[in-house]
Amino acid sequence: MAIITFVTWLWQDDGYRWNGHYRLGPAHVNRLHQALDATQTGDWRLVCLTDASARDIDPAITVLPVPAEHAGLGRCWRRLWLFSAEAAEFGERLVQLDLDAMILGDLTPLFDNPPDFVAWRPYNHYCGSMWMLKAGAHTEVWDSFGPATSPDLVTGFGGSDQAWVRHVLGPDQPVWTAADGLYSYRKHFHGLSSGSFWEPPEDCRAIFFHGPFDPSMPSVQARHPWVGDYWRATA
């Protein structure tokens, strides 16, 4: 299997709606790398695209400037750059991976003979917390995006870049779900509703904290001590 390039992002966004809940920083980047190093069995590397200093980021991580395109829109629109022809230089397989992910198991089996594009889907739409792209595939996602008009076309679809991906590629692309060991903290743990868990199930590969939660939050760690154990273990 080809080397997997995990790509994560660290940028400053004064208008981000969850700023009052948590702030991401170099510690999140380093913890993600350490968790991947402890769990992955295949060949991989981590690339962090950031507008911050690389001084506090582990030198084992490849640090590059965050692309300037669409940065003025805020939110996650700039992540669409991974669909550009230029991003294909990163390698054969690109995996978008959010910094607020808890990696608890081997993701490698999910990347064995995958399609050109596959995304995690916790609800009824794709989620940008993790998706895989064959480098150079579906460049139409990037090339067709117009910052002045495209965001208005996907109002109400949920999210920003993930909504545009759905708009361009349609709703029927291959997906990962909880059946693949990928869980949502908000859906599967925080609500404690029917079908949710108090602790990660045995098949759990990753938990994504999309939305108003983050594993570094004391309130989350107090509610679920295993989150605090993870955060301290990857320090």
Around Cβ 115, how many Cβ atoms within 10 Å? 11
- Rounded-to-integer distance, Cα 142 and Cα 154, Å: 15
Mean pLDDT (the chain) is: 88
Domains of the chain from N-terminus onward: 4-178 (3.90.550.10)
Question: Could you read off the pLDDT of 12-66 as tens digits, one per residue?
Answer: 765 544 444 447 889 999 999 999 999 999 899 999 998 887 889 999 999 999 8
| H or E stretch covering 221 | helix 218-223
Question: Could you read off the pLDDT of 24-37 as tens digits, one per residue?
Answer: 889 999 999 999 99
- Rounded-to-integer distance, Cα 12 and Cα 138, Å: 28
Return the amino acid letter for 116: D
Residue 4 tokens read as 């997997």
Residue 80 tokens read as 């669409």
Nearest 5°: phi and psi at 189?
A: -130, -50
- Rounded-to-integer distance, Cα 42 and Cα 4, Å: 8
Question: Could you read off the pLDDT of 156-192 as tens digits, one per residue?
Answer: 766 789 999 999 999 999 999 999 999 999 889 987 5
Query: Are the CB atoms for 8 and 32 separated by under 8 Å?
Result: yes
Helix (H, G, I), strand (E, B) or coil at 187: helix
Helix (H, G, I), strand (E, B) or coil at 58: coil
